[in-house]
Amino acid sequence: MTRWIVLGFLAALALGPAPSVWAEEEMAKIPGGKFVPLYGTNKKPVKVKAFWLDRRLVSGGDFLKFVEENPSWRCSAVKRLFADEGYLQKWRGDLEPGEADILAAPVVQVSWFSARAYCRSKGKRLPHTEEWELAALADETRPDASADPAFGRKILEWYSRPTGDKGPGPVGSAGKNFYGVYDLHGLVWEWTEDFNSIFMTGESRADRSPDEKLFCGAGAAGTADPLNYAGYMRYAFRSSLKATHTVANLGFRCARDLP
């Protein structure tokens, strides 16, 4: 009997928050807004239109269902154009993620192409970087906590903690923000549709949009908000990625246009 209790408990953990816990619709409406993105050198705010964003990161369990239904995205079948050798590497087999906590945790070691294919299969898309950044300005109580140094410190504190061998904790475990979106900070980094919109061009003489101010020498000093080191790290991280990369603490969630 004890065995069943333990199994039941494990199952509850593995399946993640049961549907009843997630009774709210699975996406949150993020009202449009303006903010000054980090890469801007002219401090001109960008306008983001209202959009829907998944409340939850895509979990290992979600991704398992996806590869069950889409054989070409299984680890043994995926095309090298779409994912490097690290793709779903921690899984035991194509349809066998392994430990129960892998099902409950955000799926990681997925390439941009595979994340995109997943969202597409749900009639969704990846969020644009500016959409993601807008939603991520919120803390638990405010839509924009960016002016509060404590908010930035908390995020940086997370960035400084290694993920560890066990991988990220379960989806939902890093708390929800003002919009009811979980884990935007505190669990994993996230793919965005246009992660490749910031670039380092080296010596291009014709380049009139010097994003290298984000990266060189004084680092964030040339960016719109020199105090936003957390944002600086996100942009730097994204720009270091290739679409085939699979990273042990990089997952994703999906978004959708308003109807």
Partner 1 sequence: MKPYFLIALCFLALVSPTGAADEKAPESGAAEKAPGFPSDSLYQLESSWLTQDGKEIRLGSLAGSPVVIALVYTSCKASCPLILGDFRKIHKNLSENASRISFVLVSMDPDRDTPGRLKEFEKGQKFPAPGRWVLLNGKEESVRELAAALNVSYRKTGKEFAHSNVITVLDPTGKIAHQQPQPGSSVQKTIETIQGLLGGEGKP
How far apart, in whole angstroms, are the C-alpha atoms of residue 196 and residue 160? 24
By DSSP bridging, strand 189-190 and strand 33-35 are: unpaired
Q: Which is nearer to partner 1, 65 or 153 (CB)?
A: 65
Helix (H, G, I), strand (E, B) or coil at 8: helix
Task: Give the tokens for residue 207.
Answer: 């380049």
Task: Give the tokens for residue 29.
Answer: 């409406």
Choosing from 19, 21, 23, 76, the residue that interacts with partner 1 (CB under 8 A) is: 76
What is the footprint of partner 1 within residues 30-69 (CB under 8 A)?
A: 68
Q: Which is nearer to partner 1, 34 or 153 (CB)?
A: 34
Beta strand segments in the chain, E = 27-30, 33-35, 46-48, 51-54, 189-190, 250-251, 255-257
- Residues 214, 40 contacting (CB under 8 angstroms): no
Binding mask 122-161 for partner 1 (x = CB under 8 A): ---x------------------------------------
Choosing from 22, 199, 215, 237, the residue that interacts with partner 1 (CB under 8 A) is: 199
| By CB under 8 A, residue 202 contacts partner 1 | yes
User: Cβ atoms within 10 A of the Cβ of 158, count?
Assistant: 13
* Segment lying near partner 1 (by CB under 8 A), choices 135-143, 159-167, 194-202, 226-234: 194-202
How far apart, in whole angstroms, are the C-alpha atoms of residue 35 and residue 45? 5
User: Cβ atoms within 10 A of the Cβ of 194, count?
Assistant: 14
Helix (H, G, I), strand (E, B) or coil at 176: strand
Binding mask 84-113 for partner 1 (x = CB under 8 A): ---------xxxx---x--x--------xx
Min dist CB 249 to partner 1, Å, is: 20
| By CB under 8 A, residue 121 contacts partner 1 | no
* Segment lying near partner 1 (by CB under 8 A), choices 171-179, 195-203, 213-221, 229-237: 195-203
101 contact partners, CB below 8 Å, separation of at least 6: 13, 14, 166, 167, 170
Half-sphere exposure (Cβ direction) of 102: Cα atoms closer than 13 Å: 17
Min dist CB 159 to partner 1, Å, is: 23
Choosing from 147, 209, 240, 258, the residue that interacts with partner 1 (CB under 8 A) is: 209
Binding mask 216-255 for partner 1 (x = CB under 8 A): -----------------------x--xx------------
* Contacts with partner 1, residue ranges (CB under 8 A): 1, 4-5, 7-12, 14-15, 68, 70-72, 74, 76-77, 79-82, 93-96, 100, 103, 112-113, 116, 125, 193-194, 196-199, 201-204, 206-209, 211, 239, 242-243
